[in-house]
Amino acid sequence: MRGVLLLLAVFITLTCFSQSAELEKVFDQLEKKNQAMGSVSIRQAANLVYERGFGFASIENNQKANPETVYRIGSISKTFTATIILQMASEGKLALEGPLSLFFPKWPMAKKISIEQLLRHQSGIHNFGDDRTGNYRNQNPETREEVLAIFENAEMDFKPGTKTDYNNANYVVLSLIAEEIDSLTFVEVFENRIQKPLGLQRTTVGAAINPSQNEASSYYWKRSWQPNSVADTKTLMGAGAVSSTANEVNIFLEALFSHQFFDEVWLQKMLETEGNLGLGIFQYSFYNKSCYGHSGSIDAFESFTAYFPKEKVSITLLLNAERKELNDILKEILVAYFQAN
C-alpha cells in the first residue's frame, strides 16, 4: 500500500511539473513579445496549482505584476452580484418572479419587470451608459439619487421578457435592490456577503486604483505600452466595479460551486441557461469539457474566469494590457493545462 501511495504521489508531482512547464512557455512568450500583461491563477479541488504575474502592474513605478496584483475585473462583477441576489432569494428576502415595483414603484413598467428578467438581461431597461444621444450624452451620475432619477425617467427599450439584451443597467438595478433589502450601501452588502465570509483581503468595490498597493494600471499599445485613461467605477456597482486578484476570483467560484452561499437547488437555478446565459453566469465549452464563468472588459482591463465542475478546476486570467486576442490566450492556457493533465 505504501508503494502505491508513493507512486501516486510521484505521478501527481510529475503531472503538476508538466502543467507548470507548459504554462510557463505560454506566459514567457506573452511577456517576451509584449503581447499582454496581467496575472493568472489555476486551482483544482480547492488547491492552488499554478499562479503567475507577467509584465508590469505599473510601468511608471517599475512594478512587475505578481499573483497578488489587483485588477479591475469588469463584468465578472455580475457573477458576484447574481450570487448576492440568489442568496437573498434563498433567505426568503425576495422572489425571482417578484416585480421590480416592490422596490421602485415609480419606474416605467416596474410592475412588469421581474427580478429574474433583470438577472437574465431581459428587463428592457434602457442602457443609458452606452447611450450617447442628446438625452444621455452628458449624464454622469455620481450619487445614488442621480442614478435613481435616471432610471425613473428613462424610456424602456423593449417590453420585458420579449428579448435578451446584455445590459449593464440590469445589474446596477440589482445592486440598488440589494441595498434596499439589506439597508446598506452596495459596498457594505458586498463586504458582508462575499468579502468577509471568504476572507478576500484584496477584493473591493468601486475603489480608485492605487499603484503603491500593487494595484494594476491599464495600458494600450502604440509602439510601446501607453497609459490608458481610467474612469470612476463607483456608480457601476455590481455591474462592473469589482477589483480583485486572479486567485481570489477563483476562491469565490469554488465557494459558489461548493454551496457556501446557497444550496444545490439555487445553484442549479443560477445555471439554467437560455442560449448560453444563466443568471449572471455563462456556459462555455472547451472541446469535450464544459464550464461556467464570465468575461469582463473595462478601461483596457480584460478578464475571464471559469469553473469546470466535473474537473473541479477554476481558471482566472486578468489583464491590464493586451494586443493579442483574449480568446487566443485563453485557448493556449487551457491546452497547456488540460493536455498536460
The CATH class that applies to domain 34-339 reads: alpha beta
- Say what the pLDDT of residue 18 is: 66
Q: How far is CA 118 from the centre of its chain?
A: 17
What length does the chain have?
Answer: 341
| 153 band by pLDDT with thresholds 50, 70 and 90 | confident
The pLDDT of 106-111, averaged and rounded, is 92
| 129 band by pLDDT with thresholds 50, 70 and 90 | low
Query: What is the per-residue pLDDT across 209-228, written as a single tens digit (0 to 9) for each?
Result: 999 999 999 999 999 999 99
pLDDT surpassing 90 at residue 278? yes
pLDDT surpassing 90 at residue 230? no
Question: How far, in Å, are 12, 126, 243 from residue 123 at the CA level?
Answer: 48, 9, 26
Look at phi and psi of residue 337 and say left if phi exceeds 0, alpha if psi is from -120 to 50, else beta: alpha
pLDDT surpassing 90 at residue 7? no
- Say what the pLDDT of residue 6 is: 40
The x, y and z cell numbers of residue 47, run together, are 488547491
Q: 162 CB contacts (<8 Å, ≥6 apart)?
A: 122, 124
The x, y and z cell numbers of residue 96, run together, are 425571482
pLDDT surpassing 70 at residue 17? no
Query: What is the per-residue pLDDT across 180-195, written as a single tens digit (0 to 9) for each?
Result: 999 999 999 999 999 9
Name the pTM for this structure. 0.92
The two counts, helices (H) then strands (E), for the chain are 10, 13
The pLDDT of 261-282, averaged and rounded, is 97
Apex 52 CA angle, 261 and 63, nearest 5: 110
Nearest alpha-carbon partner for 170 in 105, 236, 232? 236
pLDDT surpassing 50 at residue 46? yes
Say how far apart CA 89 and CA 116 lie, in whole Å: 11
Say how far apart CA 58 and CA 74 lie, in whole Å: 19
Of the CA atoms within 13 Å of residue 15, those in its CB half-sphere come to 12
Using the 8-state DSSP alphabet, how is residue 166 labeled? -
**Domain-wise residue ranges, the chain:** 34-339
Query: What is the per-residue pLDDT across 246-267, written as a single tens digit (0 to 9) for each?
Result: 999 999 999 999 999 999 999 9
Give the E-state strand segments of the chain in sequence order.
36-44, 47-54, 56-58, 63-64, 71-72, 204-205, 219-221, 225-227, 242-244, 282-286, 289-298, 301-308, 313-322
The pLDDT of 289-309, averaged and rounded, is 96
Say how far apart CA 291 and CA 278 lie, in whole Å: 12
The residue with greater pLDDT, 207 or 292, is 292
The residue with greater pLDDT, 129 or 277, is 277
| 140 band by pLDDT with thresholds 50, 70 and 90 | low
Q: What is the DSSP string of 167-220?
A: -HHHHHHHHHHHHHHHTS-HHHHHIIIIIHHHT-TT-EESPPP-GGGTB---EE
Q: Tell me the backbone φ, ψ of residue 245, rounded to 5 degrees.
A: -100, 160
Burial environment of residue 112 by CB neighbours within 10 A (0 to 12, 13 to 18, 19 or more): middle
Torsion of CA 170, 295, 86, 242, to 10 degrees: -80
Do 39 and 54 form a contact (C-beta atoms < 8 A)?
yes
Average pLDDT of every residue of the chain: 91
